[in-house]
Amino acid sequence: MKRTGPGLFHITSNPEWQVAQAFGEYRPQRFADEGFIHCSYAHQVKGVADRLFRGMSDLVLLEIDPSRLSCKIVDENLEGGEQLFPHVYGALPVSAVNAVHAFPCEADGTFDCRML
């Protein structure tokens, strides 16, 4: 399903991204169990990063062009919250990634998302 609109973002480790580049597609470690890739819209990135990745280093932020995906993208919240997050139901082709941003945490462990 092709879709236009706001870009999607996904946080991963630099080593995982390096593996994806070698294979031409990205599948996070939990992909086989979950069946989708957790993504965020720009306004959601900081909250997700601070909550789930606080204090972690060697991360990258993938900027994804949804129009380059052939798989289903579903806005949903599987944790019962009010905010909907985009989930990519398929492997992510490296060619669908517009930009890769280094994403180190600040001294206090939180993340600076001003580049978005």
In the chain, what are the domain boundaries? 8-102
Q: Tokens 């819209």 — which residue?
A: 41
Residue 115: per-residue pLDDT: 83
Residue 80: per-residue pLDDT: 80
Pairwise CA distance, residues 53 & 33, whole Å: 20
- Mean pLDDT value across residues 46-72: 96
pLDDT-based confidence at residue 4 (cuts at 50, 70, 90): very low
pTM (whole model) above 0.85: yes
- Mean pLDDT value across residues 33-62: 96
Q: Which amino acid is at 33?
A: D
66 Ramachandran zone, left/alpha/beta (phi>0; psi -120 to 50): alpha
Per-residue DSSP letter, 24: T
Considering only CA atoms, which of 85, 91, 84, 45 is closest in space to residue 68?
Answer: 91
Matching CATH number, 8-102, of 3.30.300.20, 3.20.170.20, 3.40.50.1820, 3.30.413.10 = 3.20.170.20
**Which tops the pLDDT comparison, 33 or 81?**
33
Q: Tokens 């990519």 — which residue?
A: 88
